[in-house]
């Protein structure tokens, strides 16, 4: 197994880390220079040599690794990984038995006891996401534990730990049999075409399952829908299946056109009855205002950071203005669905952006629904940052 290093933690962080906070952050570490090779096992003690826990060194965003256990006797070995994976499977029992949905997250990093990697399940195919070089050093015991715990058709992996924390281009196939792509999976009876070996993104973001269902089941009937940052058009497809009279999907990426046509067609929808536009969302807003276009529903799901030719967008700075753009083209009585996966602010702050945006537009609104991560994206109370998804259904009264 991997090497072990003793890591000293500033005593003022003893309670926080002993109390369940799983991420090893830089300010807490006294002997940073002793961290050499990622994947090194760590025994954490504070400045008074009080035992805190055991974990590993792996650089990910702002973190330097994750605490895996607070039991001094527990070993970080094959049995440990197997145990955590078995518990994760147990927690997803209802998903494994669901006939309408066969795509879900079945291991969610620190939420399931091991920070640094996730596993998604796509109709028998498993997709591992490794978020640091450090956790990747445990690939062998983790994959073996996985193979002994679950029946699967094939395993794919994504290494998301180049110098900027980005995806490393590779053949992502790992074990079992290769899938035929597109792999067609189901979510609440709706089909998605998924590609597990074609870059960082596979075609669907599983964490939005509850939002898609709510749009289809409660909010789409008879409505015109604008879906911005639409990617493969997942929200549009659910809205159309829920009876939307027309959807308009807008995304800058060339791939989005074919991918959106594919998702519509897969579900027996006539894509020609809908609008799919490859263009900058910010230009589309201008176009809509110029042409007096208004929608019954406007969906906002931007990436946390985006750069186009003319625009630099960051949700932390610019979300309020994005909502204002949406207010301007939403009918009175219509709905804005505002979403973000940015972990840097919480729901309270997100709601304050909505408040400010309507205020600046002299408008009024009512919050109708809010969503956070679904149950398969298991999170822990001690790590609220892990519960990153925030979605608000905002009814525009006027503005």
Residues in contact with ligand SAH by the rule CB under 6 A: 205, 208, 229-232, 234-235, 250-253, 256, 280-282, 301, 303, 306, 308, 311
CB of 12 to ligand SAH, least distance (A): 39
CB of 282 to ligand SAH, least distance (A): 6
Q: Which is nearer to ligand SAH, 112 or 251 (CB)?
A: 251
Q: Which is nearer to ligand SAH, 253 or 316 (CB)?
A: 253
Question: Distance between CA atoms of 298 and 93, rounded to whole angstroms?
Answer: 35
CB of 228 to ligand SAH, least distance (A): 7
Q: Which is nearer to ligand SAH, 121 or 235 (CB)?
A: 235
Question: Distance between CA atoms of 296 and 284, rounded to whole angstroms?
Answer: 16
Q: Give which of 42, 40, 51, 59 is closest to 18, Cα–Cα.
A: 51
CB of 118 to ligand SAH, least distance (A): 17
Question: Distance between CA atoms of 196 and 158, rounded to whole angstroms?
Answer: 9
CA distances from 361 to 22, 357, 364, 393, 396 (A): 42, 6, 9, 18, 11
CB of 310 to ligand SAH, least distance (A): 9
Q: Which is nearer to ligand SAH, 29 or 252 (CB)?
A: 252
Q: Which is nearer to ligand SAH, 122 or 235 (CB)?
A: 235
Q: Which is nearer to ligand SAH, 92 or 277 (CB)?
A: 277
Q: Show the 3-state SS of 31-42.
A: CHHHCCCCCCEE
Question: Do the beta carbons of residue 336 and residue 361 sit within 8 Å?
Answer: no
Question: Distance between CA atoms of 367 and 394, rounded to whole angstroms?
Answer: 5
Q: Which is nearer to ligand SAH, 251 or 296 (CB)?
A: 251
CB of 107 to ligand SAH, least distance (A): 21
CB of 277 to ligand SAH, least distance (A): 9
- Strand 125-130 and strand 154-159: pairing? parallel
How many beta carbons lie within 10 A of that of residue 325, not counting itself? 21
Strands (E), 223-363: 224-228, 246-251, 275-278, 295-300, 305-307, 312-314, 330-340
Q: In this structure, what token pair is assigned to residue 133?
A: 């070089």
The set of residues, in sequence order, having a beta carbon less than 8 Å from that of 164 and lying 6+ positions away, is none
């Amino acid at each position: 197994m991997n090497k072990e290093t003793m890591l000293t933690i500033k005593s003022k962080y003893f309670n926080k880390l002993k109390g369940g906070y799983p991420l090893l952050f830089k300010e807490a570490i006294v002997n940073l220079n002793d961290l050499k090779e990622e994947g090194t096992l760590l025994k954490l003690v504070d400045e008074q040599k009080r035992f805190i826990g055991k974990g590993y060194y792996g650089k990910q965003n702002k973190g330097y690794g994750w605490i895996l256990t607070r039991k001094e006797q527990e070993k970080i070995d094959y049995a440990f990984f197997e145990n955590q994976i078995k518990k994760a499977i147990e927690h997803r029992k209802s998903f494994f038995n669901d006939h309408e949905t066969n795509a879900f997250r079945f291991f969610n990093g620190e939420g399931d006891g091991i920070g640094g990697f996730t596993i998604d399940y796509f109709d028998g195919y498993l997709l591992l996401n490794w978020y640091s070089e450090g956790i990747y050093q445990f690939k062998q015991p983790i994959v073996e534990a996985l193979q002994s715990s679950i029946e699967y058709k094939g395993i794919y992996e994504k290494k998301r730990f180049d110098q900027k924390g980005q995806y490393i281009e590779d053949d992502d196939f790992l074990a079992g049999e290769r899938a035929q792509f597109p792999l067609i999976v189901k979510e609440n009876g709706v089909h998605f075409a998924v590609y597990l070996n074609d870059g960082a993104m596979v075609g669907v973001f599983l964490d939005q399952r509850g939002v898609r269902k709510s749009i289809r089941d409660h909010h789409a009937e008879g409505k015109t829908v604008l879906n911005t940052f639409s990617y493969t058009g997942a929200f549009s497809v659910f809205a159309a299946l829920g009876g939307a009279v027309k959807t308009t999907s807008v995304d800058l990426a060339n791939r989005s056109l074919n991918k959106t046509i594919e998702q519509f067609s897969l579900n027996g929808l006539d894509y020609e009855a809908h609008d799919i536009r490859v263009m900058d969302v910010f230009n589309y807003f201008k176009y809509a205002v110029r042409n007096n276009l208004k929608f019954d529903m406007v969906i906002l799901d931007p990436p946390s950071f985006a750069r186009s030719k003319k625009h630099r967008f960051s949700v932390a700075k610019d979300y309020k203005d994005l909502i204002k753009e949406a207010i301007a083209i939403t009918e009175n009585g219509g709905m804005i669905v505002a979403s973000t996966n940015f972990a840097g602010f919480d729901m309270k702050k997100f709601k304050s952006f909505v408040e400010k945006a309507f205020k600046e537009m002299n408008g009024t609104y009512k919050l109708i629904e809010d969503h956070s991560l679904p149950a398969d994206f298991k999170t822990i109370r001690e790590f609220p940052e892990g519960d990153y998804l925030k979605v608000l259904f905002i009814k525009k009264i006027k503005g």
